[in-house]
Amino acid sequence: MRFPRLPVVTVPKAALRRLVPLTILTGLSLLGTLLSYGYGLRPAEDHLQMAEQAYQSAKQAQATLQQTHAQQVRARTAQRQLDSERQALPTREEFTSLALALSELAKREQVKIPGMGYDIQKQDGTEPVKATITFRATGEYAAIYRLVHRLETAERYLVIERLDVAREHQRAMVTTGVVVNIKVATYLRHEAA
């Protein structure tokens, strides 16, 4: 295959002289473009990439800080709730009045409590200690029911740990009463010295 011959155009020298400043200006423009790409655009892209990485790491750090803050808020809320629950617990001095209050409650409900026994666990640091009151109550079924209901719905933190029920045996073979062995537990808060 043969290529056709293209005619060669000759440009007069006067026209070439007029094109020299334009050629120099074009060359300088190309050189300026290459220099601005090398010294301006390339570092700007690197700077943009570093800024993007810094943004992503700051965004991740902010998310971590927000999670930590939310956990701290939940922990403070839980601590306040725990403190209010601990303040609702009786102290050792209030525990003795609690035993008297149980006795008075039984009298109001027409239940007889011949005696009470109590036990307080050994103090271990500032943690609440368990205290129990054990007693035998005798009376009518309805009165015993009211007493147990009052114990269950008491304002103080009380738990009925054990409840044994039996009929009261009388000599005349008429059983009208109920005997209940009750063990009530509570926790005593640590008293500040």
Lowest-confidence region among 7-11, 107-111, 148-152: 7-11
Per domain, the residue ranges of the chain are 10-88, 92-188
Neighbours of 143 (CB within 10 A): 19
Residue tagged 């129990």 (tokens): 132
Answering whether pTM is above 0.75, one says no
Q: Phi and psi at residue 117, in whole multiples of 5°?
A: -125, 145
The residue type of 89 is L
Asked if the model's pLDDT at residue 120 lies above 90, the reply is no
Alpha helices in the chain (DSSP H): 13-36, 42-88, 92-108, 141-152
Averaged over 145-167, what is the pLDDT? 85
Q: Tell me: the pLDDT tens digits for 82-100?
A: 888 888 788 888 888 888 8
State the fold for domain 92-188.
Alpha-Beta Plaits (3.30.70)
Looking at residue 129, its pLDDT comes to: 87
The SS3 call for residue 133 is strand
